[in-house]
């Protein structure tokens, strides 16, 4: 398990300009809680997701709903960071 985790952690996205790993910023962080009936192998995902910085949260009943919410929040974060480059987002 530790070897697999190390491999996963070693696959950080690289920035095009420097080749360095992209930073893991709190503006891009979420807490995801899955209910006990979640069964990823059977495509059953249900639970709650919260954006760490803004506190926006929702319940979801599918992986699609989870990804849609995260996409909406990250679109807003990206737009905010473009309007206020030094502000860091949300």
In angstroms, the CA 43 to CA 59 distance is 16
pLDDT winner (highest mean) among 13-17, 23-27, 31-35, 76-80: 31-35
Is 1 inside any structural domain? no
Is 2 inside any structural domain? no
Is 14 inside any structural domain? no
Is 34 inside any structural domain? yes
Q: Enter the pTM of the model.
A: 0.71
Which domain, by its residues, includes 75?
A: 28-90
Per residue in 46-57, pLDDT (tens digit) is: 999 999 999 999
Is 12 inside any structural domain? no
Is 10 inside any structural domain? no
Is 5 inside any structural domain? no
Domain count, the chain: 1
Is 18 inside any structural domain? no
Count how many Cα atoms sit within 13 Å of the Cα of residue 86 in the half-sphere of its side chain. Answer: 0
């Amino acid at each position: 398990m530790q070897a697999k985790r190390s491999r996963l952690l070693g696959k950080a996205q690289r920035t095009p300009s420097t080749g360095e790993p992209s930073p893991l910023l709190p503006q891009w962080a979420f807490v995801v809680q899955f209910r006990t009936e979640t069964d990823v192998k059977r495509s059953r995902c249900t639970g709650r997701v919260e954006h760490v910085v803004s506190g926006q949260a929702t319940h979801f009943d599918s992986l699609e709903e989870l990804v849609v919410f995260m996409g909406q929040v990250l679109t807003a974060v990206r737009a905010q960071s473009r309007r206020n480059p030094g502000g860091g987002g949300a």
